Structure 1
């Protein structure tokens, strides 16, 4: 394995890991002659004639919910862009059934790999040359392999005190220890409290004398789950500088960054250049000069969760290790998913068309966020200061803090009791929410978890979304009126 400057961060077991030694082709020795047109009797790959599918036809949409309320006859009359995927042709720009449904390299199909590389180069090119990526089975798989590549039992990883806790469970299976970092939880918040992060690392041995110095920071800096905050580039630069000083890696989880929540997407036509240069938040990759950032991306939020496709970007030394882990575990991601995803993107117009789709998604989510946010800000529960609404700039979630202390009965309860009472009221009024304590890391964070996470994404339409918000507001009113 190639030694690179940050190789000391790799987990011990990976340092002696090698890809499978099994080889289906052994080259000729001693200058032996090789036939120009050999017949392959070596591979265990079924001939594509055994595949029971000859052609796939996909009718694609120009914008979300385009056909949601239309009848079948109305849909049939729409001029939808049709994608056809055939078994075999001689156009190397596409992925055909004969190729895409076959076994392939652990890094994924070369065409999708190249597309992902062009996407990263355009939007978030690392600030050094020796970078690479590997296609994964979604962001969760990417994070799992990052943790596997890095974590020895007893290693510590910093995480935002409120975060997507399944990732911390993922970390723990390798013996990693999640240590919470305080975040600012208010309408002006950018997430991690930079000064507290710096103090934590500068005084680590005094604050956590029994724990190893952190190996990495796991962070969701854009559309943070659950809070919804987005860190500015200046804040990211400050955090990067602190982490570089302490030789801490950055594991950047960014499933929500392409979903921009801004009224401009509602009021006018945002151009691709504006989307890229004005509205998209820049990844930590763009300020990374030492190769310490590993970024996990996914197609789940912009294409479909069931595709189970994503990729990890980072220094080639790390990516080679993650690719080796893939070759010894999951092998390649689903060829069927790669075939459909890539052909939809390519036949609809490639990278430009894919950016247009992301703009349309941002518009649809921005409409939902506006309905949600505006209703809550104008509500009685906000006027009475029962709640504090955190306006998100990216993503799928909106968090609402509940000021339990304003009610005489509620202020006597602990956080578990109050959240349980709130949950009961929500169920009574017919709305299901995520309680803050479920997304808190550590006892101190749980004590401060007086909030709920609400999603913009599941409702069938704006009417259903608005009804859900009204039911949530009624739940809060009911709770504060009776206190139980």
Structure 2
């Protein structure tokens, strides 16, 4: 295959997200099979150069992304391609003997074979896997011996900054199936998890002293990762659907550089589905409204979506029959809320996906999707820092996702997670109804994710007039620990930590970790602590 063409200057100005007509048909699972059959066997050896253009639809009828030179940091603009990584493109020349890069000989890798046992779709329980799971084996020389397309001699060696071609193909196809980006020059790159990708993104777009915009309560590590870089967070008011578009617009329309002591922000960080910590999920109308504000003020959006596929069945009365589950993968995909990437006509979104919440946090593999220009800058950063995700993790995931399940089986796995998380959510909500004083503690049933955000009416506390909210929060937190349950304090998730003085009292509980029995017991214990603190 030929390398992609050089980056071209795209159309200027903004485009109305609702006015674009896209004649290209979305990629389907069956379409992947047909495309691969036409392309032939993937041949990608050690440190093989690749990018998403090798594996996605051409999309010739779509516009190209805008250019973002004016938003990139001095550091990002100064990065140049790695001389050693760039030389890898010559390895595809037939018969070439490499004395160039410092690639160790696979003969000295002390791992001859890896075997993993995984479930066979749709038999996903641990017991079913023990009884009838499939064994997937990776040998050292599977590719050269013609028994596989990805082996240990490749995975255990150095790789390219965008990740292996084999895993890049899978995530590119998956992204196109789910999001079908409406511009032409989008690409993917593997990452070593979203937190690492986020740190790199800050450095690509921000200088010291800049503000990043986010929900007023946000992922604590996002704030803590930015702080040492001299980057501050500014929280935007929320409701049950997350960030308020009007509030964001008003803030930016009235930005005063002298008062704020910083230039107008151009980066917004959001977790649109099952937001951490509040569990809020932005509906379609909210996402479109926020995207239009981003167009108006030339914001670049970081769409952090680790919980996107943990969208659950609608919550109903415990005694009411639940809605039927999707019967097919196609039905499942139609139930998912459209992503920012799927409505991004400008190329102003970087979507961050992760296997952490749907496969394993310890894999430390995720991927980002953005315009060709942004991916190129991201890969330049990888080349002189993380280099590429763990080869062992990549080949294990490849065996599961590609050889074990395929796109069809992976979507079945995600439907299975919907069933499991719906059950867990309903369990914790039933426990809350039973054990918490509902005149004091209220909550919105989450539509996605793994968190329940509980709002306590602090004004009913006997010391409401004599103690600060933060002090009441501390009292309840320690009382809960004394009762034998650990919940997270709402103040831990404030976007503006340095100046934070809460006006409401929140606690976050997760329904992802403990067993259903233990989770119910934990809520009962938390209820005892709340009642004791409120004198009930």
Q: TM-score scaled by structure 2?
A: 0.81
Indicate the residue corresponding to 2:209 in structure 1: 154
Deviation for aligned residue 1:419: 0.8
Give 3-state SS (helix, strand or coil) of 2:333's partner.
helix
Q: Deviations over 1:412-468 (max 9, x none)?
A: 310221011101110111000110000012267541351111011111x21112111
Asked if the contact 1:3–1:317 (Cα under 8 Å) also holds between the matched residues in 2, the reply is no
Distance 2:313 2:381 in 1: 39
Q: 1:206 to 1:82 in 2, by over 3 A?
A: same
Equivalent of 2:125 in 43, 50, 66: 66
Indicate the residue corresponding to 1:272 in structure 2: 329
Distance 1:51 1:425 in 2: 53
Asked if the contact 1:143–1:167 (Cα under 8 Å) also holds between the matched residues in 2, the reply is yes
Q: 1:218 to 1:165 in 2, by over 3 A?
A: same
Asked if the contact 2:273–2:311 (Cα under 8 Å) also holds between the matched residues in 1, the reply is no
Asked if the contact 1:162–1:445 (Cα under 8 Å) also holds between the matched residues in 2, the reply is no
Indicate the residue corresponding to 1:222 in structure 2: 273
Indicate the residue corresponding to 1:212 in structure 2: 263
Distance 1:445 1:23 in 2: 45
Q: 1:478 to 1:148 in 2, by over 3 A?
A: same
Asked if the contact 1:373–1:389 (Cα under 8 Å) also holds between the matched residues in 2, the reply is no
Asked if the contact 2:280–2:447 (Cα under 8 Å) also holds between the matched residues in 1, the reply is yes
Indicate the residue corresponding to 1:345 in structure 2: 401
Q: 1:222 to 1:36 in 2, by over 3 A?
A: closer
Match runs of 1:407-418 below 5 Å: 407-418=461-472
Asked if the contact 1:94–1:343 (Cα under 8 Å) also holds between the matched residues in 2, the reply is no
Indicate the residue corresponding to 2:524 in structure 1: 470
Give 3-state SS (helix, strand or coil) of 1:258's partner.
helix
Asked if the contact 1:19–1:328 (Cα under 8 Å) also holds between the matched residues in 2, the reply is no
Segment of structure 1 superposing worse, 127-136 or 462-471: 462-471
Indicate the residue corresponding to 1:249 in structure 2: 300
1:451 paired with 2:509, answer no
Asked if the contact 1:377–1:389 (Cα under 8 Å) also holds between the matched residues in 2, the reply is no
Segment of structure 1 superposing worse, 304-313 or 341-350: 341-350
Asked if the contact 2:72–2:204 (Cα under 8 Å) also holds between the matched residues in 1, the reply is yes
Asked if the contact 2:124–2:413 (Cα under 8 Å) also holds between the matched residues in 1, the reply is no
Indicate the residue corresponding to 2:534 in structure 1: 480
Equivalent of 1:306 in 362, 369, 387: 362
Segment of structure 1 superposing worse, 206-215 or 408-417: 206-215
1:39 paired with 2:97, answer yes
Distance 2:170 2:179 in 1: 14
Asked if the contact 1:191–1:221 (Cα under 8 Å) also holds between the matched residues in 2, the reply is yes
Q: 1:26 to 1:204 in 2, by over 3 A?
A: closer
Indicate the residue corresponding to 1:335 in structure 2: 391
Deviation for aligned residue 1:36: 5.8
Indicate the residue corresponding to 1:232 in structure 2: 283
Asked if the contact 2:270–2:302 (Cα under 8 Å) also holds between the matched residues in 1, the reply is yes
Equivalent of 2:115 in 27, 51, 57: 57
Indicate the residue corresponding to 1:98 in structure 2: 153
Q: Deviations over 1:156-193 (max 9, x none)?
A: 21111100121122223332221111112xxxx11112
1:111 paired with 2:162, answer no
Distance 2:535 2:123 in 1: 40
Q: 1:228 to 1:446 in 2, by over 3 A?
A: farther
- RMSD of equivalent CA atoms: 2.6
Distance 2:409 2:293 in 1: 38
Asked if the contact 1:24–1:43 (Cα under 8 Å) also holds between the matched residues in 2, the reply is no
Distance 2:147 2:352 in 1: 28
Q: Deviations over 1:280-309 (max 9, x none)?
A: 222111111111111111111011111100
Equivalent of 2:78 in 2, 12, 16: 16
Give 3-state SS (helix, strand or coil) of 2:308's partner.
coil
Match runs of 1:65-84 below 5 Å: 66-67=125-126, 78-84=131-137
Equivalent of 1:180 in 235, 244, 260: 235
Deviation for aligned residue 1:209: 4.4
Asked if the contact 1:155–1:212 (Cα under 8 Å) also holds between the matched residues in 2, the reply is yes
Asked if the contact 1:216–1:251 (Cα under 8 Å) also holds between the matched residues in 2, the reply is yes
Consecutive unaligned residues of structure 2, counting only runs of 5 or more, are: 1-5, 10-66, 316-320
Indicate the residue corresponding to 2:142 in structure 1: 89
Distance 1:314 1:43 in 2: 29
Equivalent of 1:357 in 402, 413, 418: 413
Q: 1:372 to 1:141 in 2, by over 3 A?
A: same
Give 3-state SS (helix, strand or coil) of 2:309's partner.
coil
Consecutive unaligned residues of structure 1, counting only runs of 5 or more, are: 29-34
Deviation for aligned residue 1:328: 1.1
Give 3-state SS (helix, strand or coil) of 1:303's partner.
coil
Distance 1:148 1:380 in 2: 44
Q: 1:94 to 1:433 in 2, by over 3 A?
A: farther
Length, aligned pairs only: 463
